[in-house]
Chain A
Amino acid sequence: AQKVTQAQTEISVVEKEDVTLDCVYETRDTTYYLFWYKQPPSGELVFLIRRNSFDEQNEISGRYSWNFQKSTSSFNFTITASQVVDSAVYFCALRERGSNSGYALNFGKGTSLLVTP
């Protein structure tokens, strides 16, 4: 079963639009960690944010913001005033406390964001 669901496969927006990428997760653990990674066309995976299950405070970093809601098991990512350089595949990931060790991440399938001028 999918532990991390990113229902949006592809999103296309015009520059300066706001866009929200959805992430829904599934876990029985009470302690867990959620992440967003960005994969630009060059292929590397770039860490964006980590959130632990005890911290539901939303976070803003520049044009990026994250909305963590345990009640709906969601960890959505919003880009405000999108730019062409935001074009990438964005992955949501879950690390469950139940993992023996090593902090293995369970990734969603990713959302491909295309921002056009």
Chain B
Amino acid sequence: EPEVTQTPSHQVTQMGQEVILRCVPISNHLYFYWYRQILGQKVEFLVSFYNNEISEKSEIFDDQFSVERPDGSNFTLKIRSTKLEDSAMYFCASSPGAGATGANVLTFGAGSRLTVL
């Protein structure tokens, strides 16, 4: 069964450092997303990406965050200068295009846990 893969599974970093979280979405999916979940809290939407550009972003996704699809398979989330409050589980997800089977259904990766010290 196709899956979304994320690396690293856990990253520990110092406050102020740059972090890049990587994701390989399902190959024929067209929409890509990042969500985050602070420990014990709800899953929050960060950003969606379609056709090589951001299609939606939340208030959380400020100038410290950026996303990129550097090649045909990877989808990355960069946090420019990490803060303590960025500590969370970051989930990547992807979904098929409109009209495709399973449209609207997001398939999530296993998550990347970021710990900022």
Chain A residues with a Cβ under 8 A of chain B: 33, 35, 37, 42-47, 50, 52, 91, 93, 95, 99-110
- Tell me, rounded to whole Å, the shortest Cβ–Cβ distance linking A8 to chain B: 14
- B42, A101: Cβ atoms closer than 8 Å: no
Q: How far is the CA of A46 from the CA of B109 in the complex (A)?
A: 9
- A105, B106: Cβ atoms closer than 8 Å: yes
- A109, B105: Cβ atoms closer than 8 Å: no
Q: B18-36, CB under 8 A of A: which get 1 and which 0?
A: 0000000000000101010
Q: B77-117, CB under 8 A of A: which get 1 and which 0?
A: 00000000000010101010000000111111111010000
Q: Which of A33, A103, A107 is close to B43, meaning CB atoms less than 8 Å apart? A: A107
User: How many residues on the B side are at the interface (Cβ–Cβ under 8 A)?
Assistant: 28
- B48, A103: Cβ atoms closer than 8 Å: yes
- A103, B89: Cβ atoms closer than 8 Å: no
Q: Does B44 contact A (CB under 8 A)?
A: yes
- Tell me, rounded to whole Å, the shortest Cβ–Cβ distance linking A31 to chain B: 11
- A33, B104: Cβ atoms closer than 8 Å: yes
| Sample of 20 further A-B pairs with CB below 8 A, known A45-B108, A50-B105 | A37-B108, A43-B110, A45-B43, A45-B91, A46-B108, A47-B106, A50-B104, A95-B104, A99-B56, A100-B55, A101-B48, A102-B49, A102-B50, A102-B55, A107-B42, A107-B43, A107-B44, A109-B41, A109-B42, A110-B43
Q: Which of B35, B45, B109 is close to A44, meaning CB atoms less than 8 Å apart? A: B109
- B42, A104: Cβ atoms closer than 8 Å: no
* A–B Cβ pairs within 8 angstroms, 14 of them: A35-B105, A43-B113, A44-B108, A45-B43, A47-B108, A93-B43, A101-B31, A101-B50, A102-B33, A103-B31, A103-B103, A104-B33, A107-B43, A107-B45
Within 8 A of A (CB), among B1-59: 31, 33, 35, 41-45, 48-50, 55-56, 58
Q: What residues of B have a CB within 8 angstroms of the CB of A104 in the complex?
A: 33, 45, 48, 56, 58
